[in-house]
Copies of this chain bind each other. A is one copy, B any other.
Amino acid sequence: MPADVPASFRIVMIGAGNVAWHLAPALEQAGHQMQAVYSRTPEKAAALATRLYRAEPTASLDFSGFEAALFLIAVPDQALPEVLRQTRFPQGSLVAHTSGSQPLPVLKAAGANLKTGVLYPLQTFSKVKPVDFAAIPVCVEGSDEETLQQLKAVALSVSPQVYEMSSADRKALHVAAVFACNFTNHLLGISFDLLRQHHLPANLLHPLILETVQKALSFPPFMVQTGPAVRNDGAILAEHLRFLQTEPGYRRLYEVLSASIWREAEQKE
């Protein structure tokens, strides 16, 4: 680590949603000083502040009087432009966001004379479930080498898995993560819903789900694809679609996913 990178940063967290909820305490535990926590909803800022040692909850975006070393913006992508428009940063501050999809240059809207960067923890965060930051890859990007090194130091303080990554690669990674996480979670939700509708215990599927994932992490998933779609078993597919006729949304997904599996299998043949 270059000599000019401090081991401990004073940090302002802008946002009190799922990412901030886990990241702010992890940063504090790593030795940084959380100065303030912003949410436009005062109760949310207060709730996150109670998870921290001495962070000030605030609903104001005027940080011009602050001396933080790092302003971390962890708000939903939709809210980012408005937050950037409203926030007053001290001259020369380092401002970084935590988004998978927002390219670095969006932070130019925060004002001139700022150093900008990205610190993207590649994980799914829900307030109900604690996470172990040490197991989370963190992708960093900086507007200049010094900024990059500073964000790298912050990232390395919470996780050993730190990757320098361009905005373009980060976007590809985010799209892949949507498939691997958000879409997968939805399918698991549907499977449990089908069990519930038929009064079958949810844990029946647990071993299958664990095996599916363990296999997918050890073998190329397209190579170990199983089920009626990859066998192009028209009779079973038709029967399952008939079974799902009272759930047209699930039925549509079944059709589109089965067609995609078969298309992939055909390409390999």
Check A129–B253 contact: CB distance below 8 A.
no
- Looking across the interface, which residue of chain B has its beta carbon closest to that of A231? B76
**A135 touches which of B125, B197, B207 (Cβ 8 Å):** B207
User: For A161, what are the chain B residues with a Cβ–Cβ distance below 8 Å?
Assistant: 207
Residue A178 CB within 8 A of the other chain: yes
Taking the closest CB of chain B, its distance from the CB of A96, in whole angstroms, is: 19
Stretch at the interface among A48-56, A146-154, A169-177: A169-177
User: For A174, what are the chain B residues with a Cβ–Cβ distance below 8 Å?
Assistant: 240
Check A163–B221 contact: CB distance below 8 A.
no
- Looking across the interface, which residue of chain B has its beta carbon closest to that of A159? B207
Residue A77 CB within 8 A of the other chain: yes
Stretch at the interface among A3-11, A31-39, A59-67, A184-192: A184-192
Taking the closest CB of chain B, its distance from the CB of A19, in whole angstroms, is: 10
Check B263–A182 contact: CB distance below 8 A.
no
Check B226–A125 contact: CB distance below 8 A.
yes
Stretch at the interface among A84-92, A108-116, A254-262: A254-262
Copies in the complex: 2
Check A78–B233 contact: CB distance below 8 A.
yes
Check B180–A208 contact: CB distance below 8 A.
yes
Task: Tell me whether A177 and B208 are in contact in the complex, defined as CB-CB below 8 angstroms, given that A128-B224, A186-B225, A257-B183 are known contacts.
Answer: yes
A interface residue numbers (CB < 8 A to B): 18, 76-78, 101, 122-126, 128-129, 131, 135-137, 161, 163, 169, 171-195, 197-198, 200, 204-213, 215-231, 233, 235-236, 239-240, 243-244, 249-250, 252-254, 256-257, 260-261, 263-264
A126-B224, A176-B191 known; 9 other A-B pairs, CB under 8 Å? A77-B235, A123-B208, A124-B208, A128-B219, A176-B200, A181-B208, A183-B187, A184-B188, A184-B212
From A193, A236, A256, residue with most partner B Cβ within 10 Å: A236
User: For A135, what are the chain B residues with a Cβ–Cβ distance below 8 Å?
Assistant: 207
Q: How far is the CA of A59 from the CA of B233 in the complex (A)?
A: 23
User: For A187, what are the chain B residues with a Cβ–Cβ distance below 8 Å?
Assistant: 179-180, 183-184, 187
